[in-house]
Structure 1
Amino acid sequence: MMRHIELGKDAQTRQAAVRRLIRNGSIQFGGNRPAKIYGRLSCVSGKKMKVANRVFFQNEQEAIKAGYRPCARCMQAAYLEWKNALF
């Protein structure tokens, strides 16, 4: 897991770092640290998130291992599977 805020001192530097990490396959999912939710990088909810709360994961297993749950908006099937496992 890597925190978005730690990728650079300003927005432009962080944006360039994120693009580079996506291109080389180092990150595939994003997450909200306080809410413990992960989802696709293209998720509308994830794009509205504060930079200080955003984290990135290399794969889904890394997010699950860190205690995050799937996003109900962009990962409906995985979310329903997670939710049904609770009950």
Structure 2
Amino acid sequence: MIQHSQVTDVELRSKIHHQKIHIGGNKRLKIYGLLSCSSGKRMKRQNRVFFTNEKEAIQYKYRPCGHCMKEKYKAWKDQQNIQQSHN
């Protein structure tokens, strides 16, 4: 995980260009999504993190964005409801 506040804009663009970053996330809300997501573009720099891939975001216990990853968010939400019904 790379925190946006710890890289320069030049470094960030280079990592995206060289495909070292594919997913962005909100560290306060623990949500990940596509770099093109309008919700992600509005978040504060200090809350923004980047991941190499979706698997890395999930390892950090982030959930999919409900705006740019609707199908994955729905599957995550359904799983949460199943877990809550067993408790």
With the length of structure 1 as denominator, give the TM-score of the two structures: 0.91
Is 2:70 the partner of 1:79? no
How far apart are residue 17 of structure 1 and its match?
Answer: 1.4
What is the rounded CA distance, in whole Å, between the counterparts of 1:19 and 1:40 in structure 2? 15
| Equivalent residue letter for 1:76 | K
| Equivalent residue letter for 2:6 | E
Is 2:2 the partner of 1:2? yes
| Equivalent residue letter for 1:6 | Q
How far apart are residue 52 of structure 1 and its match?
Answer: 0.4
Where does the alignment leave 5 or more consecutive residues of structure 2 unmatched?
A: 82-87
| Residues 17-26 or 71-80, more deviating | 17-26
Where do 1:9-48 residues align within 5 Å?
Answer: 14-48=8-42
| Equivalent residue letter for 2:2 | M
- The structure whose Rg is larger is 2
User: 4+ residue runs of structure 1 moved beyond 6 angstroms?
Assistant: none
Give the count of matched residue pairs: 81
| Equivalent residue letter for 2:15 | L
| Equivalent residue letter for 1:26 | K
What is the rounded CA distance, in whole Å, between the counterparts of 1:18 and 1:81 in structure 2? 30
What is the rounded CA distance, in whole Å, between the counterparts of 2:71 and 2:9 in structure 1? 29
